[in-house]
Amino acid sequence: MASRAPVSVRSAAAGRPAGRATGRATASTAAKPDETTRRRARAIAAKLAELYPDAHCELNFSNPLELLVATILSAQCTDRRVNMVTPKLFARYRTAADYASADRAELESLIASTGFYRNKARSIIGMAQELCARFGGEVPDRLEDLVTLPGVGRKTANVVLGTAFGVPGITVDTHVLRLAKRFGWTTSDDPVVVERDIAALIPRKEWTILSHRMIWHGRRVCHARRPACGACGLKELCPSYGIGPTDPQEAAKLVKTKPIDELP
Ligand code: SF4
């Protein structure tokens, strides 16, 4: 991808008054971790940066509305599949008003291959109607506003904030949640608590890119079932080393080598 946002999007991010992101509130409410935990967390984050220097959002978009729609479509779907659907979709619907007045059956047919298309179409139309009614047709750049939109949870909101607006955010998807527990960064299954726990360990400016790197590592190496511990670049640092095969050859077979946007 692709978070190949055009200059206008990046400029919008750069021009935003500081301190509007609600991620800041998340960090401020976190319990203070001990220094050893913090030091190890930063070592893991640094190693992830080394392992995945090119990590980024795989969804194609050219403005915040497109990213919001693509992120809604990405639920239970690979990024590659979403990227196959969006060129036609984005050409057909250019503004929130276009989506708000969309013919539901037509929208459903355009997004059908992403799965759960009825729910997704309902979310997209509802989200766009709210954008028109309450935000002048623009995607808001605050977490507390984004999460009031139909189909937009905290995870989607943080993707949009971090990737389209440049506001640091921790995206707690299934991979980030699993890895945070394995790294010993959290003991919770509650995404809000996990977000808070990670925020207490990692500098704010790294939140968005760290989320991407954790997602990449989760997709490729640290799988839910049978993580490839013996072939993992974090094996010297990870407190969960050994929960998957440690034999290097056996572990290497578990590493997913497909392009990242084809992995769930
Ligand atoms: S050592 Fe194992 S559990 Fe730890 S990050 Fe690597 S694959 Fe995951």
Question: Residue 232: helix, strand or coil by DSSP?
Answer: coil
Distance CA 209, CA 256 (A): 21
Query: Is the pLDDT assigned to residue 5 strictly greater than 70?
Result: no
Q: Which of 173, 181, 190, 261 is labelled catalytic?
A: 173
Residue 19: pLDDT over 60: no
Q: Is 154 in the pocket of ligand 1 (CB under 6 A)?
A: no
pLDDT in tens, 119-143: 999 999 999 999 999 999 999 999 9
Reported as a single tens digit per residue, the pLDDT across 210-237 is 999 999 999 999 999 999 999 999 999 9
Enumerate the domain spans of the chain. 39-54+170-262
The answer to whether 213 and 183 have CB atoms below 8 angstroms apart is no
Per-residue pLDDT at 32: 77
pLDDT reported for residue 34: 86
Q: What is the pLDDT of residue 3?
A: 41
Query: Which of the residues 155, 235, 256, 261 is marked catalytic?
Result: 155
Say whether pLDDT at 26 is over 50: no
Q: How far apart are CA 61 and CA 47, in angstroms?
A: 29
CA 68 – CA 132 distance, rounded (Å): 15
Coil, strand or helix at 180: helix
128 CA to centre of ligand 1 in angstroms:
40
Q: What is the distance between the terminal CA atoms of the chain, rounded to a whole angstrom? A: 16
Instruction: Give percent of the chain above pLDDT 90.
Output: 82
Nearest atom in ligand 1 to the alpha carbon of residue 228 is: 7
| CB-CB contact of 182 with 219 (8 Å) | no
Cβ neighbourhood burial of 221 (10 Å; 0-12, 13-18, 19+): buried
Check residue 160 and report its DSSP letter.
H
pTM: 0.84
pLDDT at 217: 97
Checking if the pLDDT of 7 tops 90, the result is no
The CATH code belonging to domain 39-54+170-262 is: 1.10.1670.10
* Model confidence at 99: pLDDT above 80: yes
pLDDT, position 15 = 33
Tokens of residue 6, six digits = 């055009």
Q: Is 228 in the pocket of ligand 1 (CB under 6 A)?
A: yes
- In this prediction, residues 4-9 reach a mean pLDDT of 33
Q: Could you confirm whether 181 is annotated as catalytic?
A: no
Q: Does residue 195 have a pLDDT over 50?
A: yes
* Closest residue CA from atom 2 of ligand 1: 229
